[in-house]
Chain A
Amino acid sequence: MWLALVILPAAFGGSFARGPIYWVLAPLPIAPLLVGLLRRSPRWLLLGFPAVLLLPAAVDTRAIEENAQSPFAFALLAVGLLAFLFGAAYLTGFEGGAPASPERMRRLPAAERVAPRWRRRQRVYFTLATLSGVFPLVLVYEVYLSPTTRAFLHELYPGRVGALLQAIGVGVLLLWGALYWIAFLGPLWGHRTGDRALTRRLDQIRQESQNAAPRLAFYVAVLIALGFMGTLLWMRLH
């Protein structure tokens, strides 16, 4: 991801010649990545690294533009992102680091090795993980890279293709978020019956639902609504 998003576009696009700032920013994402790898911290890996990775791209936006226009660069970035997510999931999957090695092990009889229901579950998990990678890639490809979509947009909306692509991009993001929440995470919630965090959360929700006072979300929503209404009025008056 670092090579595809920062180094290669900068090397071929001449970003390093723009000034010393790019020389400072380009190697910076490696620091949170190393910290995240050493500490096996989800915050450093999934928040710190992507946030710092965007800094060089923010200084020189051509890197993003080139990745968005070239199918090869997009494929490279997509493979890198998927590999990074799988790696981060593996490294951060065990609470407190790597799983402790067992004191003793016993081989199960061949007939009991993997129960059919676990084989079914593994198939479902594997399919969901694969599809959660395939779906966004296909959506992004169809919107931004497919020649058919490009030709269709140029024919129907001449001169407004850029703005329309941005709007469709936001739509794709929202659609994928809703799909992921409903169709991918939704079925998995029911499988986490032995999960302590989940049962704690369910107890919390049960207690909250019986609480006769408004929750924090109520006050935050009132403040946001009033604030934005004031902003809209101010924009109309000035």
Chain B
Amino acid sequence: MRRYFFEILSVLLIAGSLVFFAECIGYLAKRDYISSLILLAIGLSVITVGKELARLALVQKE
């Protein structure tokens, strides 16, 4: 049960990080470089959290 929870959460977070990267490109187009850098950092952090949860799901699977 816990494994599926981690898997769903990791997929959601990794997919969610793409939204931040897309927003980052949008802010770059508006030449708001500070906001785009902040969004890039948020995207990278969210993808890191997703990656860690995917690892936990693999550990649960084994």
A and B interact: yes
A residues in contact (CB < 8 Å) with B: 163, 209-212, 214-215, 217-218, 221-222, 224-225, 228-229, 231-232, 235
- Does B38 touch A at the CB level, under 8 Å? yes
Interface string of B28-62 (1 = CB under 8 A from A): 00010011001101101110110011011011101
Find chain A residues with CB under 8 A from B62 CB.
Answer: 210
Contact A224/B52 with A209-B59, A210-B59 known, Cβ cut-off 8 Å: no
B residues in contact (CB < 8 Å) with A: 31, 34-35, 38-39, 41-42, 44-46, 48-49, 52-53, 55-56, 58-60, 62
Contact A217/B38 with A212-B56, A212-B59 known, Cβ cut-off 8 Å: no
Report Cα–Cα, A114/B41, bound state, in Å. 49
B interface, by DSSP: helix, strand, loop or mixed?
helix
Shortest B28–chain A CB gap in Å is 8
* Contact between chains at A218 and B49 (CB < 8 Å): yes
Find chain B residues with CB under 8 A from A217 CB.
Answer: 48, 52
* Contact between chains at B38 and A231 (CB < 8 Å): yes
* Contact between chains at A224 and B60 (CB < 8 Å): no
Contact A214/B59 with A225-B42, A228-B41, A235-B35 known, Cβ cut-off 8 Å: no
Report Cα–Cα, A114/B49, bound state, in Å. 49
* Contact between chains at B42 and A229 (CB < 8 Å): yes
Contact A211/B41 with A217-B48, A221-B46, A225-B46 known, Cβ cut-off 8 Å: no
* Contact between chains at A224 and B45 (CB < 8 Å): yes
Contact A232/B42 with A221-B48, A222-B49 known, Cβ cut-off 8 Å: yes
Find chain B residues with CB under 8 A from A229 CB.
Answer: 42
Find chain A residues with CB under 8 A from B35 CB.
Answer: 232, 235
Contact A228/B42 with A209-B55, A212-B60, A214-B56 known, Cβ cut-off 8 Å: yes
Report Cα–Cα, A215/B48, bound state, in Å. 11
Find chain B residues with CB under 8 A from A163 CB.
Answer: 31
Chain B residue, CB-CB nearest to A224: B45
Residue among A221, A222, A224 facing the most chain B CB atoms (10 A cut-off): A221
Report Cα–Cα, A214/B41, bound state, in Å. 20
Residue among A211, A222, A228, A235 facing the most chain B CB atoms (10 A cut-off): A228
Contact A221/B45 with A228-B38, A232-B39 known, Cβ cut-off 8 Å: yes
* Contact between chains at B38 and A221 (CB < 8 Å): no
Report Cα–Cα, A214/B38, bound state, in Å. 24
Q: Which 6 A-B pairs have the closest CB atoms?
A: A225-B45, A221-B48, A218-B52, A221-B45, A224-B45, A228-B42
Shortest B15–chain A CB gap in Å is 15
Shortest B4–chain A CB gap in Å is 16
* Contact between chains at A218 and B48 (CB < 8 Å): yes
